[in-house]
Amino acid sequence: MTVEQLARLDGRGAVVDPATYARLFAAVTAWVEGPGEAWSERIEATGTVPAELRAELKERGFLGLAAPRELGGGGLGFTQWMGLMEVFSRSHASIRMIVHVVNGTWRSMNPHATPEQRAKYIVPSVAGDITVAFTLTEPGNGSGADISTTVRRDGDTYYLNGTKHLITFGVNCDYWLLFARLEGSHGKDGTVGLLVARDSPGVTVEDTSNTMGVRGTDHARLTFTDTPVPVDQRLGAEGDGLKIALGGFLTPSRISVAMSCVGLAERAQQLAIGYARQRVTFGKPIAARQAIAFMLAENAADIEAARALVMHAAAEWEAGADRAPALSSMAKLTAVDMLTRVTDKALQVHGGLGYWKSEAIERVYRDARAQRFEEGTNEIQKTVIAKDIFARAAATERETH
């Protein structure tokens, strides 16, 4: 498939003109710093994401910015979308999670959807009319070919059995975009991608939303017992499950998560700088203390370096480069480690006060920890990177002999 064909399916080649983008960037920034901050305080106080917030995000068009105009989206290029993802990530983690997931799930579905499925599931998802929860992870397995949730086919119906957990938006969604395997199959060849209605019979939904950070985002543990799923709710063909789950979705999603680390680190740095300038000890602000100034200088360099790598990975994916998957893992690994260092120093700048929930840095510090496992742990990223470097070394050796 050519880059041009991919662009029509996943929007990587779309772009809006600079003037329009500048206006959109300014609007998103103003919302994050104004209404978004008020919503953040409300989410932390209640532990839930109000329905009115989702309605506001939909009304402002923030849920479809990254999708192509053919799907009703904003038509942003991927690097443009990363610029906005950076801004959204300075807000509450649950706000970032909503715009990240909704602006990305369509990428997994669209290349494999029929025109009817596109109209029924993808266009409404991009519009914010329905929520589709990505449903891959299982309690006893990794997140790849070893999935054990199964389906058996009887005529025009699959019957689904198994358990999924850590499913973001799994409680309050409209559909689960779920990955399973045909009974008796092994490896990737037997996997399928299904759109399972939230109200399907034979499903037990356990709300597991009581998390350390990212408060307000719902998470679920799902148990399926002979749950019927019409065959026409399968995306692609039998055997395409992992391709749908990982193929055109995982690389841009990892880059997006890496950029969310950059945005959250910028917020932590902003809070630390503000506190350092106003906190006075022995007659002068602590910003004048070299120990504090050096921590903030290290943070600034750390953030800039990570951002540059993330944008490089984004540009390479946008261009269809074959090294984009490895670069996405490098970006995620680097940005996550950067975020850990930056938030730790930012909290330290606040001294003991930073440990109190009255301070915004306390929430940022908790939210940052979630990024270490979203879209794969650091150990997974290192595995992907190592595989790439050894494959390239072998290819180079073959070319020189």
Active-site residues, by number, are 375
Q: Is 328 in contact with 313 (CB distance < 8 Å)?
A: yes
Q: To which H or E segment does residue 197 belong?
A: strand 191-197
One-letter amino acid identity for 351? Answer: G
Which three-class secondary structure state does DSSP give residue 99? Answer: helix
Tokens of 239: 């055997």
Q: How far is CA 157 from CA 78, 231, 232, in A?
A: 37, 5, 8
The 3-state DSSP class for residue 39 equals: helix
- Report the C-alpha gap between 44 and 99 in whole angstroms: 18
Alpha-carbon distance of 270 to 272, in angstroms, equals 5
**Alpha-carbon torsion (194, 197, 203, 206), positive or negative:** positive
Task: Please work out, in degrees rounded to the nearest 5, the angle formed at the alpha carbon of residue 112 by the alpha carbons of 107 and 113.
Answer: 95
Q: How far apart are CA 77 and CA 318, in angstroms?
A: 8
